[in-house]
Amino acid sequence: MCKTVRRIVLWLALVAALAVPTAASARQVEAHAAPPPVICGTACDGGGGGWTGCTQSTGSDGGGVWGIAGWHHYLIVDYCKVNGLITSLSIVAHGCDTSGFAFCNVGPAWISSGGTGTGWGIIEGRAYYGTTANKLTGLSYTSSVHVWIYLG
């Protein structure tokens, strides 16, 4: 009797051990049968181009301790694209905010790469900053900000 019970338990364990991987692999096959939806853009729409619309992008840099000697340098750019190509691009604002004993002088800003007629752009701006003690000694530091317009 004990031997028979042992055989029945052994067979049940063997059947269960074989059934679990079979059920798991069936679920995997079922999961792979229907791929998830994919966003693919230009590759799927027959080469219809990239994004169309207008937007604004900002690049900024800052440092110090706000309230004691802090500075914030920013560059704001507006641009429009039609089918992924830039149709208009303009620097809307380029400036510095300071607090406490900090100073910040805005330097030049320019389009360093890409721009109107291309699909990308890199716009750069410079500013020169420091503290009151730096100003007295003629010493300042340079801040560089970049606005990146990506392909698409």
For residue 41, the tally of other CB atoms under 10 A from its CB is 13
- Whether residue 82 sits in one domain with residue 55: yes
Top pLDDT among 147 and 29 is at 147
What's the pLDDT at 20?
39
Instruction: Taking residues 10-39, report their average pLDDT.
Output: 45
Instruction: Taking residues 6-25, report their average pLDDT.
Output: 49
Structural domain count of the chain: 2
How much of the chain, in percent, has pLDDT values that exceed 70?
A: 68
Under 8 Å between Cβ of 79 and 90: yes
What's the pLDDT at 138?
87
Top pLDDT among 11 and 73 is at 73
Q: Domain of residue 30: give its range.
A: 1-36
- Whether residue 130 sits in one domain with residue 78: yes
pLDDT at residue 141 greater than cutoff 70: yes
In a domain? residue 42? no
